Structure 1
Amino acid sequence: MEQPAVVVLFGGRSSEHSISSATAGGVLRAINRDRYRVIPVGITRDGVFVLEDDAPGKFALDATKLPEVVDNGTRIMWPEGGSDRTLRVRRADGRVEELGSVDVVLPILHGLHGEDGTVQGFFDTLAIPYAGGGVLDSALCMDKHFMKIVLQASGVRVSPWVTVTRARWAADPEGVRADASSLGEPVFVKPARAGSSVGVSKVHDPSELDAALEAAFAEDDKVLIESAIIGREIEVAVLEGRGDGATRASLPGEIVLTTREFYDFEGKYLGGDGAEVVCPADLADDDVRAIQELGIQAFEAVGGRGLARVDFFLAEDGLYVNELNTMPGFTPISMFPKCWLASGMTYPELISELVDTALERAA
């Protein structure tokens, strides 16, 4: 049987460009080359689609120099639609080459213009199968404001919050400060549509609020202020069911903080001290079952497809869902693959699971 052609798509225009590139480096190293024909396609920070060298080491996660997609002069020419799935590349000298028919795209994209439903809608229009979330769940989970509304309406507890637009902050700063004060102390301030803890601050008292809002508004014109839930930070990995099978949840993991205030960008990706990813988490059996069940409930509440990582706070009064991530970090040090490894699935098997689920859905 001919190998299915898998386009591994990464980079992108968001502030998480380098994390997407590092994630793709891990996927390119681990994907089963005996089963799939791999075509690496990068998106530069300016939104240019280029054909990348199939050299996984090029995109290794290095805290001293994060990887990125640079413009190498090539241009990817996507299929024209209809029944055509032929991928082409225009080389820097103008030559056009056919790369063969695309069977599935694996979009390893984080943040805006990739994890928010835009790329998913593009491939839906071209009738090209792709792995991971669809338009609706991607868009919902990218926007933390609407994600919380949907989860709350489905009976899933979330931390109390207020949403602030840049326009309101400019017109009514005292009203915003009053709303923030009603949430208690401390609070978290975060962009509504960003990930990897970019632009997130922990605010201990009112004197820190203005700077935190400015940092968040640098990423987005809509910002959330959330009550800080005191409890353990627990995460569970979720996969869509295959065929008629049910949605599956992994063993939960835990973010253990020692000297770090919260699990910020440095702690996640730059090897900063004070935060450790532990999987499986040390939990009672009843807690494990409750976390898995609530993770599946949250995934299904947003119309989840493909995969998600569901983040919780386990507080004295029970579980709160913090957020869902429809394309979680996939680097070897990331929680999503670690949770499935702890549950008995290898890294290459996990990648195959995503690709095969997309191929089955298309069939």
Structure 2
Amino acid sequence: MTAMLDRPSDVDDGLTPERLLRAYRTMKSIRMFEDRVHDEFATGDIPGFVHLYAGEEASAAGICAHLDEDRDTIASTHRGHGHCIAKGVDIKPMMAEIFGRTTGSCRGKGGSMHIADLSKGMLGANGIVGGGPPLICGTALASKIKGDGGVGIAFFGDGASNQGTTAEAMNLASVWNLPAIFVAENNGYAEATAAKWSVSADNIADRAAGYGMPGVIVDGFDFFAVYEVAGEAIRRAREGGGPTLIEVKLTRYYGHFEGDQQTYRPKDEIGHARESLDCLKRFRARVTETGRLTDAQLDQVDAQVAQLIDESVAEAKAAAVPGAADLLTDVYVKY
């Protein structure tokens, strides 16, 4: 049976003021990073395609807040910047990678859709729709064999929920009882195709029953709700309870890609989301009203993140681009 958590969570399990500040810093870093990439892309200095995660911050932050750097892994999507930041990938190499510079996370060869950092357990953003779920079956199987308590998390969109790779990965994870979590970030559109038109079930999480795993729906604008749901699913996976499908319902603030005119969206949809549903506004209101944090503490984080983003862009623009000598580096693995 599919459970639903679309109410404000009452559970602050383990969320000390320090962890709350860390969660806010993560979400604010994602938002400022994406807003700045949006502006810089418009100048023509960023090569390739860019797909922005702004508006979806609570999903990545709420889930990755439970993860360890050394034993837990995530697989991402073409909209992967937020997942990278939430998993601890350094922002400066990320920005350099987006600008296609040699100081980038992948030495300027991957760009926006292929940022990866295996040292952080980030298996990579992925331009293949539905490419991530099979990967985390591999890392989850490795953790199960080693007995290290690690989990694998696959983020994917509503479009990828219809892919055979996703279906096969969920079936395999259930058959092998893997410590795997499948996170369907349902922002309502697969490119320009509405999920209500393309997804046969009322909810993506309803499909969990077909794979013998729990399915949970959660409000993706509420960090605390996502944190609660993810904590339970990850705890269950670590203890040998098997996989879970989590559907996070949210929206993106920008188009499918930079340059998308978004004529398929209702005119007031984005404005309503920014004004009334924004996860950062909700988070700030909750922690200040309850006295857990102050506006001054959050404002300080805002200033620190803004400075980091400015430095990241400046250093990226000053770095070198890959040359002819770099063509054959990092292509083959030598054993």
Where on the TM-score scale, by shorter chain, does this alignment land: which range? under 0.3
Q: Bigger relative contact order, structure 1 or 2, given CA contacts below 8 A and separation 6+?
A: 2
Higher strand fraction: Structure 1 or Structure 2? 1
Structure number, greater radius of gyration: 1
Q: TM-score, normalised by structure 2?
A: 0.28
Q: TM-score, normalised by structure 1?
A: 0.26
